A and B are shown apart, each in its own frame.
Chain A
Amino acid sequence: MSLAAVDVSKRFFLGRRWPLQAEYTIGVDGVTCQVAPGQTLGVVGESGSGKSTLARLMLGLLAPSGGRIEFEGKPLSGFGSGAWRSFRRSVQPIFQDPRSSLNWRHSIERIITEPLQNFGQERSERSKRAVELLEQVRLPTHILKRQTSDVSGGQLQRVAIARALALDPRYLICDEPLSALDVSVQAGVLNLLLDLQASRKLAMMFISHDLEVVRHVSDRVIVMYGGAVMEDAPSGDFYRTPRHPYTQVLLGRASPLAEDASEPPAIAAAEASSSRETRCPFTDRCPMRQERCFRERPVLRELAPGHRAACHFA
């Protein structure tokens, strides 16, 4: 009974080049991953890797262009309103910047209790629950009537967590939950998330560009680049023996190519003739790229038990 992406792709329509050729940008490209109950799946990637798009697909906020998202074995595309309600209760988000992801014209209490309001809870019940939730995220109850501008960034992210917990979900999708916070506050919020996971047996999808944090909290890690999964491994293996060149770059064990480095002629020719679908997405910066990487897109293959990478030369 898990939340899974099965060969999921998402394209974004850019415009139509006359007369009939539509242009797209690829958000996510053939990703398969699973958030198992009680476990944390870490997703690492930089900007443009597709990790945020993946989060939105898992939350059902975007519909996939290809593949499917499955919740407890059933695809989201087949959900009726009852199934959606149940899904929304079970899967909740925590976004990067609480100042923009929470409506700043609402009071803290209103923000936290909105999910409860949507599911029909009475006002008096909601107020009580708001107090409980604040206590669970270790915030003082006097902030309930305040506005978001009266509250610090770290506190506001805890408010976002309280709101996410309101419906007692089974899955938390965290998209860069610490990145917008002050450094001295990040550890506290991280500890809170770890505590909540332990006490509520929550499953988490933890997305971040910070490798150290992801490794620390995750049971399993996937690395994304250009919308696709480059490596997929248990978090210990991932750090000890990274297989994919991109992972090695992220860990500081290799240097990527400069953004506009000139290439040797063979590579330049190969690059010019290949299209996106037939080459490895990391060819633009890979220090180990060869001519084959442009011709043939590597698939995720198992290099060690439970440890997969998408590279011809890993």
Chain B
Amino acid sequence: MIGTTVCAVDGLTVAYHSGGEWLQAVREVSFEVCSGEILAIVGETGSGKSTTATAMIRMLPRNGRVVSGRVSFDGRDLLALSTGEMRRLRGQDIAYVPQQPMSAFNPTMTMGRQVAEPLLIHRGMSQSEAAPLAAKRLREMGIHEVERVMHAYPHELSGGMLQRAMIATAMICQPKLLILDEPTSALDVTIQRQILSLIKEVQVGYHLAVVLISHDLTVVSQVADRILVLYGGRAAEIGPTLDITTRSRHPYTRGLLRSTLTGTLEHKAKLTSLAGYPPNPLEVDREPGCPFRPRCHREIAECAVAFPPLEGEPGHLWACYDPEPVS
């Protein structure tokens, strides 16, 4: 059941320095995530979804800066903490699972050592004390031959098993917030489903707050409780999964849902597709107004002037001057 707010992001704006100028990748994005729910952040190229996550935990690359905003966690503003304080939170209270499990592990260390590492750092345990806990977590995450895996190197394991190990590492200090960046994109279809249900199990079992980042709306709608749709660095729509998938109001969300195959289309018939292309991340903040304008069939005069405010019903908000009618 949905509990208290674990993390609240308010008006986050992030910029990158590239080619001599500052380009905003994320613009005034706000959302919150509570314990006991999975919030999915969905977006394509240029949406700013990965930047939002890395900015939240203060792991932006050297040329990135948070321009404004607040990230509240446990009553504190993460953006105002010292690097030492932030380091203590990472891996312990806030866990981050990066993209591509195969590249996220050190190829020269055994899995056992790597999964146990957060315990050594944050709880001051020794390797021998931490190993049984690591083994227990691995088993929890659906790995059967735990002994073999503990002594194996990353390249000896499949993508699915590495992702399970990654989640085990993230969960080992029992964090309050778990952020997963594209956890299923590098995996085969059959494994994707398994990993998604694992994430759901973990979330329920630990009553976690989970932020799940993905480019695929249909995939996350299977497990997410709420969905935030980003476009061109801005929040386009946010709401419960059911509302987003069946009663979406933003033309982009609608367009995305309509352009996926649902099995009811006649064989070889053309799909409805969104015109145009996602915005170029390098150019997305140059023009005022709504970034979705070039592809929107509902554009009106106001759209070019300023970005529409987020409004709507309680719990379901959208940023559009002329939203789609309820279908």
Contact = CB atoms under 8 A, between A and B. Distances in A.
Interface of A: 46-47, 152-155, 182-188, 190-191, 194-195, 209-213, 216-217, 235-236, 249-250, 252, 256, 258-262, 285
Interface of B: 44-45, 142-145, 148-149, 158, 160-161, 188-191, 193-194, 215-217, 252, 255-256, 259-261, 263, 265, 267-268, 270-275, 277-278, 280
Contacts of A209: 188-189
A259 B161 contact: yes
B160 A259 contact: yes
B163 to A, nearest CB: 11
A249 B273 contact: no
B256 A213 contact: no
Contact of B255 (A184, A260, A262): A184
Contacts of A261: 144
A313 to B, nearest CB: 19
Contact of B278 (A184, A211, A213, A258): A184
Given A184-B278, A209-B188, A194 B143 contact: no
27 contacts: A152-B45, A152-B280, A153-B277, A154-B278, A155-B277, A182-B45, A182-B277, A183-B215, A183-B256, A184-B252, A184-B256, A185-B274, A185-B278, A187-B260, A190-B271, A191-B273, A194-B268, A194-B270, A211-B189, A212-B261, A212-B263, A216-B268, A235-B267, A250-B190, A258-B142, A258-B144, A259-B160
Contact of B272 (A187, A236, A256): A187
Contact of A213 (B190, B216, B261): B261
Contacts of B275: 188
A182 B215 contact: yes
Name the 10 nearest CB pairs between A and B, nearest first: A187-B273, A187-B259, A46-B188, A182-B44, A187-B271, A188-B273, A212-B261, A152-B277, A191-B270, A260-B145
A152 B261 contact: no
A202 to B, nearest CB: 13
Contact of B45 (A153, A187, A194): A153
Nearest to A236: B267
Nearest to B161: A259
A258 B144 CA distance: 8
B190 A46 contact: yes
B278 A188 contact: no
Contacts of A250: 189-190
Contacts of A212: 261, 263
A137 to B, nearest CB: 13
A212 B216 CA distance: 15
A231 to B, nearest CB: 15
A130 B45 CA distance: 28
A69 to B, nearest CB: 26
Contacts of B194: 258
A109 to B, nearest CB: 20
A206 B296 CA distance: 31
A217 B142 CA distance: 36
B215 A191 contact: no
A262 B260 CA distance: 38
Given A183-B215, A184-B252, 12 more contacts: A46-B189, A152-B278, A182-B45, A182-B215, A185-B278, A187-B272, A194-B270, A210-B189, A216-B267, A236-B267, A250-B189, A285-B190
A259 B274 contact: no
A260 B143 contact: yes
A211 to B, nearest CB: 8
A252 B261 contact: no
Nearest to B214: A183
